[in-house]
Chain A
Amino acid sequence: MGAEEISLLGHLDAPILVGDPEGCVVYANPSFRERFCQMSGDPVGEPLALVFGGGAREVVLTATAQVLQRGQPSRLQIREGGHAYTGLCSPIEAEDDRVGVVMVMLEEHSNEEHLTSLADELGEPLSDALQAMSTLNEELDGRLNARQQQLMTTGLHQIETAQKWLRELGVALRGGKTQQGRFDVASSVLRVSERISQEIPSSVDLEVLMPPNLPRVSGATVVFERLLSQLVRQRVDESRPDQPITILARALGGDRPSGVIVSVVDVPEPDRRGPTGHPPEGVQQGLAQMGGEAVCVEDGGLGRVTSMRLAVASA
């Protein structure tokens, strides 16, 4: 009679593994065997290093070593067969000695990565649909009857609404968490402007207006610089050749700043500009991931400004 048949552990859905101090398997319940050992047969007596593969091997061995060394439980996260698991690794003690480890795995059912990739896949066709309808709207200007124009306006509005909810979905899939980290936004703005200045013709006047010091904001330097570069490049491509482009930044909220606003001001050339004026979808999504937001305000006589609001990082 197998150990799994006489033990309560044999009837649990959660994969459970027991290892000895030498790092070999002494017990694996049926759930563990089913999920982790379909190809490799009976794991009992095998080193842990052979039971787990890929990145999971190092994670499991490190957790086991820490548990045996410190006598404290340790958490771990691994992927196996397309599933994600969170594991708890605890010491087994007998007569003041650590005689092994027990590992309990819990499957994560949210399948976040798959949903996130689906959300990303949806973004592109939505963006294309918006661009196509906006172009159509411009080309048919004046030739649609009231009902058709109403339908066109409703369609455009609904696509923009869908894009907004898609961004919300992206944030929700990450558990409402924004990217960790804080960075010096003033340095990032200067680096981006220097890089772009080297790329564009010297005839394009690129000006930066910001105070010497700005509060640090939440997010990642690399991500923000990529987003800002993408936005500025797009604006350079769309702007009138004889008009300057200005990058501005300042703190919001007076003496106790709550955010920093970074803006790009340009005057778009009608023949070169995108139909909506919105910043690229990737910029909006990236900014949402940093906990920020973007807006584009356009006025025929004054020009166009695209502003990004970033949250000040907590101390």
Chain B
Amino acid sequence: MENNESPLDPSAPPPQQHTPGDPRSPQQHTPGDPTPPGAAPARHPLRESFRKAIGTSDQLTAQQQINRRTFVSFAAFFVLGAAAWKSWFFIKDAGQSDGVQGPLRKVLNVDDRIFGRTFSPNHLAPTFPKTAAARNVRYNSGIGLGSNGFDLAKWALDVRRDNGDALSIGIDELRRLPKTEIVYEFKCIEGWSQISWWGGVKFSDFAAHYDLRPETAREYVGLATPDDRYYIGIDMPSALHPQTILAYEMNGQPLPVRHGAPLRLIIPVKYGVKHLKRVGRIFFSDTRPRDYWFERGYDYSCSL
């Protein structure tokens, strides 16, 4: 379609004929007016007075149309702008729900559900050769790693079963289970990332070895440090993801204390905040276990 002649170009002569299919053909652009030019429009008087009021009636002079349509449009513009301004402060000043404004929390939960559907155990975090792993692994947080009352030599993992039993598993016992190593890009919720190398037992191998079938049929798994200062909840599909590891090694060496000795969670499908260090207890639940950063306004899943 040729479009050299424009209704907007004042220097161009008025177009001589209607171009079929041209949405802005100037001959027929009174909105909602299908009447061909020249014919007297037969409209309901009430409708006509409304059109006069808002300035779209062709019985008005051009200047009247300009004035009224400008006024009506800008009035609507400012009313809608004020409404948007009000809505913004409605959200900003709304009551808190787990550390964040209630309306935002609702949408974050919906986000979790929507993007939860994109999850597949076949979607793997990219892995790297061991040579790519950082020597100096970044240390960012020591919440739950306080020294008072903690004795590394006496540590044992406490697993709560559905039937009420508690398993107490020492680190040597875990080391005898099949070992899995991973070199992947650890991603912190703050925005930095680092390729690091970890070794341990796959969570799914761990669950299979201790026959945690009724437990892994639940919705969530909860983990906490021995002092309960740091605690997280993980949806079961992420916990059973083939790259989720209960790690006891970093860079081929036993975990340093700062990185969560003797056992920490490595879960590449989630941000670092879910990589709980110094795992003390593991329990299972159909409702979301309490989660340290969720309570401080982050989304529950923190998935990647």
**Is the pairing of A and B real?**
no
Q: Which residues of B contact A (CB under 8 A)?
A: none
Q: Which residues of A contact B (CB under 8 A)?
A: none
